[in-house]
Amino acid sequence: MISPTKKMLKFWGLVILAAISASCNNPMAKNAVVEPMAYYNQVGYVADLPKLLLVTEGVALVLIQDHEGNEVFSAVPEPPLFWEQSGDAVRKVDFSAITKPGFYQVLLPNENESFEIHISERPFEELSKAVLRSFYYNRSGMAIEPQFGGQWARPAGHPDTIVYVHSSAADEYRPEGTIIASPFGWYDAGDYNKYIVNSGISTYTMFRALVDFKEFFGLLDANIPESGTGVPDLLSETMYNYRWMLSMQDPHDGGVYHKLTNKNFDGMVMPHEATNDRFVVSKTTAAALNFAAVAAQASRILSEYEIHFPGLSEESLEKAEKAWEWAVKNPDIPYVQPKDIQTGAYGDSHFDDEFFWAASELYLATGKHEYLDVLIDKYSKPMVPTWGQVSTLGFLSLLDEYDNLAESLKETGLKEDFMALVDQLVSVSQTAPYGVSIQEFAWGSNSQAANEGMLKLVAYRLTGNEAYFHSALSDLDYILGRNATGYCFVTGFGHKKVMNIHHRPSEADGIEEPVPGFLAGGPNVDVFTDCPKNVERSPFPAKSFVDLVCSYSTNEIAINWNAPLVYLVGGIEARHFKE
């Protein structure tokens, strides 16, 4: 969530110059931006899959040499394609013909520029580990130990064993000021608060990745404290947040608190230095339904891990149904920010999508017709999921069990509508200048690209159609550098690195490199007032990004942005995975 920074106005000239000099493309002097000549995946290309880089209009020829200096590829770039979202034209260079793993030098002779690319059978294994381990770095209530966190080790913060019931959440059983415990969980974003609504889509997506790529994630060692216990690291990490979610349900009535938070955002300090009182705030319909959906999903997944989590599968389903019952009795309670609370709202006033998603998970867990009836009543065509639009998550779960669904549910067009959405996304990506389907740049635009890639991988699993997989791979290429900014948007990776994310531990720890594995939010034009006026932002949505801590609108991190990246990277790596 957005938040102010105490360092925002301190030595901005030096900060901006430092951020500029950190760019691998050395582009800026004062505020004049020099565009790179090429945009490409800076982490790696898969040896036997399509490979695309983009060059600007000024480039007439592209040469690629192997490590011995032998020319292995040359091409005249395709005709330029203009993109209104970026305000520029780029030319595609398809070098899929190169399939031998190795490092190659790309030469742009007429521009006297060169850069290195990497081709590998599995270029994203370390990336998979890093994007998963980023959640470990954002754990609340746990010290990050050196053997797991390296130089980003830190003391524990926010144990949340003493949390006060806020007046907005009080009732006769838990009056205002009642102390409860609500430990564990992930810090939601660059701040130190925890939100059920955003945890809903994030936790679901992590569970979903485990279900869809069980063999790959079953053996992926992310070097977290639970590694080697016999439980997949992805599941162990997700359980850390899921256990917090369970603690946010009021056992008396089944309602779920909307968030656990300070009254105001903390400054740019380390977690253990942020010691303000913590509160659970409001019970809402959205929180109850997000909780019900994830708990019902967990009940099915955890039934396979009963030996590791005894009784939790059954308990999860009981809690899910109790939250559902509360939501049915309270079907229209939006979150209203109390006057003394200034942290993120995650406000939502339309709940048909939450009812559909929760009913999907509960129907699959129980087979009860009361949930089926809601699915028929609340059905609408799917969209790319966000925290505020979650009905498509229900589609993903239902399509897993499509052959066993009631005919009345199949007759809604469930499968046909989902495939139509993905087909439309793929069609756009095949002709788009930058080779991706993203067309709108809202806050957290990079998560839009990751979620679109996730949907395409689901379609690939359903059909085996390679076009879906290739388009998902292109979405990952975009995130890793083949985008209009030229940045690799995952911290710790790439040549033009994101260095100054809006993330309190990364800003306050005194370490130059940010905590690795986080996906920066990405370009958008939603807010231009988060940084001082002398910081330039492009007016074009696809380019409107600055790598400065002040830019919470483009450079913050969030769990719901990293979760689909875990799915996307893991799903692509899983294709070539061998034990």
Which range (57-61, 170-174, 559-563) has the least confidence? Answer: 57-61
Confidence of residue 110 (pLDDT cuts 50, 70, 90): confident
Residue 240, helix vs strand vs coil: helix
What pLDDT score was predicted for residue 334? 98
Share of the chain above pLDDT 90, in %: 91
In sequence order, what are the residues at sequence separation of 6 or more whose Cβ sits closer than 8 angstroms to the Cβ of residue 426?
A: 437, 456, 467, 468, 471
Is residue 450 within 8 Å of 568, Cβ to Cβ? yes
Please give the C-alpha separations between residue 78 and each of 302, 430, 551, 560, in angstroms, as whole numbers.
51, 14, 35, 36
DSSP per-residue codes, 443-484? TTHHHHHHHHHHHHHHHHHHH--HHHHHHHHHHHHHHTT-ST
547 assigned to active site: yes
Q: What are the residue ranges of helices labelled H in 222-368?
A: 233-247, 285-302, 312-329, 352-366
Is residue 381 within 8 Å of 362, Cβ to Cβ? no
Q: Is the pLDDT of residue 567 over 60?
A: yes
266 assigned to active site: no
Q: Give the span between the Cα atoms of 109 and 115, in whole angstroms.
A: 12
- Name the catalytic one among 353, 354, 507, 547: 547
Q: Which two tokens stand for residue 560?
A: 């719901």
Is residue 451 within 8 Å of 425, Cβ to Cβ? no
Q: Give the span between the Cα atoms of 541 and 548, in whole angstroms.
A: 17
Q: Is the pLDDT of residue 564 over 60?
A: yes
Q: Is the pLDDT of residue 2 over 50?
A: no
What pLDDT score was predicted for residue 26? 33
Per-residue pLDDT tens over the stretch 355-398: 999 999 999 999 999 999 999 999 999 999 999 999 999 999 99
Per-residue pLDDT tens over the stretch 401-457: 999 999 999 999 999 999 999 999 999 999 999 999 999 999 999 999 999 999 999
The sign one gets for the Cα dihedral 190, 195, 197, 200 is positive
- Name the catalytic one among 166, 502, 503, 573: 502
Closest CA to 260 of 340, 166, 156: 166
In sequence order, what are the residues at sequence separation of 6 or more whose Cβ sits closer than 8 angstroms to the Cβ of residue 222?
A: 129, 132, 133, 136, 233, 234, 237
DSSP per-residue codes, 22-83? H-TT--EETTEEPPPSEE--SS-EETTS--EEEEETT---EEEE-TTS-EEEEEPPPPPEEE
Q: Is 9 exposed, middle or buried (0-12, 13-18, 19+ CB in 10 A)?
A: exposed
Mean pLDDT (the chain, rounded): 93
Mean per-residue pLDDT, 101-111: 93
What pLDDT score was predicted for residue 113? 87
Per-residue pLDDT tens over the stretch 238-275: 999 999 999 999 999 999 999 999 999 999 999 999 99
Domain edges within the chain: 125-481+559-574
Does 237 or 30 have the greater pLDDT score? Answer: 237
502 assigned to active site: yes
Share of the chain above pLDDT 70, in %: 94
Bridge partners (DSSP) listed for residue 144:
154
Q: Give the span between the Cα atoms of 396 and 333, in whole angstroms.
A: 26
Scored b (16 or more CB within 10 A) or e, 144-156 reads beeebbeebebee
Q: Which two tokens stand for residue 435?
A: 């080779």
Per-residue pLDDT tens over the stretch 489-547: 999 999 999 999 999 999 999 999 999 999 999 999 999 999 999 999 999 999 999 99
Amino acid at 212: D
| Highest CATH level, class, for 125-481+559-574 | mainly alpha
Q: Give the span between the Cα atoms of 210 and 566, in whole angstroms.
A: 10
Closest CA to 521 of 550, 567, 484, 562: 562
Instruction: Give the max Cα distance, the chain.
Output: 78
Per-residue pLDDT tens over the stretch 14-62: 233 233 333 333 333 333 445 779 999 999 999 999 999 999 988 999 9
What pLDDT score was predicted for residue 34? 57
Amino acid at 491: T
What pLDDT score was predicted for residue 337? 98
When computed from its CA atoms, the radius of gyration of the chain, rounded to whole angstroms, is 24
Q: Give the span between the Cα atoms of 83 and 447, in whole angstroms.
A: 20
What pLDDT score was predicted for residue 30? 31
Please give the C-alpha separations between residue 432 and each of 86, 363, 435, 454, 476, in angstroms, as whole numbers.
12, 39, 5, 19, 15
Q: Which two tokens stand for residue 250?
A: 């009021």
Amino acid at 378: K
What phi, psi does 569 have (nearest 5°)?
A: -65, -45
- Name the catalytic one among 88, 212, 530, 556: 556
Closest CA to 522 of 32, 205, 85: 85
What pLDDT score was predicted for residue 112? 81
Which range (27-31, 282-286, 329-333) has the least confidence? Answer: 27-31
Count the Cβ atoms, other than its own, within 10 Å of residue 126: 16
What phi, psi does 33 have (nearest 5°)?
A: -95, 125
Q: Give the span between the Cα atoms of 529 and 191, in whole angstroms.
A: 19
Q: Give the span between the Cα atoms of 345 and 3, in whole angstroms.
A: 12
556 assigned to active site: yes
- Name the catalytic one among 160, 191, 348, 530: 191
Query: What is the model's pTM?
Result: 0.94
Does 115 or 110 have the greater pLDDT score? Answer: 115
Task: Write out the H or E segment, with its range, that includes residue 116.
Answer: strand 113-120
